Amino acid sequence: MLHVAAYIEAAAGSGQDRILWLEGDDLIGVALADGMGGMGGGTLAAESAVQYALEAMNEAPGLIVASQWPELFWRLDRRVNTTREAGETTLVALETDGRLVCGASCGDSGAWLVAGDRVVNLTEHQMRKPLVGSGQADPVSFTAELGDGLLLVASDGLFRYTGARNICETVRRVPLPDLPRALVDLVRLKSGRLQDDVAVFVAGRPPQ
């Protein structure tokens, strides 16, 4: 099965990115959220969204296919929307059985497949708004063949501040367990600070 690694680093005074994942015998699932809203509302929304997404993935008998993901997101959207004090959040959630990758997203957190110097942006058709927790979420689902690709799921704190070229170069150079931190270092300022929270999850085949 695939190997996975994840890392989150908060920008000063921030900290509303969350990741949860599951590693089963035949399936890997991940949910990544970037919460919006002050007074802890964004954090609560992000934490609730990834937790509810993992519950849904644990309950589902097999791979949740693309056609099933929108309904699942609408259910999560209503649950976060009715969670007291919760704000809103981006959400990208997906599962892979090692062959197919199926999932959906709301907002600007993304999922890419990285293979050599090629990337496929699985979330390219996503809607930036409305977010999960608004009660009007507009999820866009996706399906792709994993192939030999590395699966990269990250918040806009990564994708906004670096590009495919740097990401591909880092994926080629750095072993998977160290990759999330190395990707965060791509967007680190000279001062060592980050401009936004960065959450990174990767899954890929172990080296032959």
Binding residues vs Mn ion (CB under 5 A)? 34, 155-157, 196
Residues sharing a CB contact under 8 Å with residue 190, sequence separation 6 or more, in sequence order: none
Whole-angstrom CA distances from 137 to 60, 71, 75, 120 are: 21, 10, 10, 24
Nearer to Mn ion, 34 or 88 (CB): 34
Residue whose CB is less far from Mn ion, 11 or 100: 11
Tokens describing residue 23: 């590693």
CB nearer Mn ion, residue 96 or residue 155: 155
How many whole angstroms separate alpha carbon 153 and alpha carbon 35?
A: 16
Of 133 and 157, which has the nearer Cβ to Mn ion?
Answer: 157
Rounded to a whole number of angstroms, the minimum distance from the CB of residue 123 to Mn ion is 14
Residue 64 or 131 with smaller CB distance to Mn ion: 131
- Of 68 and 121, nearer to Mn ion (C-beta) is 121
- Cβ 11 to Mn ion shortest distance, Å: 9
Q: Are 29 and 95 in contact (CB under 8 A)?
A: yes
Question: What is the longest distance spanned by two Cα atoms in the chain?
Answer: 49
Distance of alpha carbon 81 from alpha carbon 59, whole angstroms? 21
Closest CA to 184 of 1, 17, 2: 17
| Minimum CB–partner distance for residue 1 and Mn ion (Å) | 30
Q: C-beta of 177: minimal distance to Mn ion in Å? A: 24
Alpha-carbon distances of 121 from 117, 142, 154, 163, 164, rounded to whole Å: 13, 10, 12, 12, 10
Name the minimum Å distance from CB 146 to Mn ion.
26
Please, what is the minimum distance in Å from the beta carbon of residue 184 to Mn ion? 13
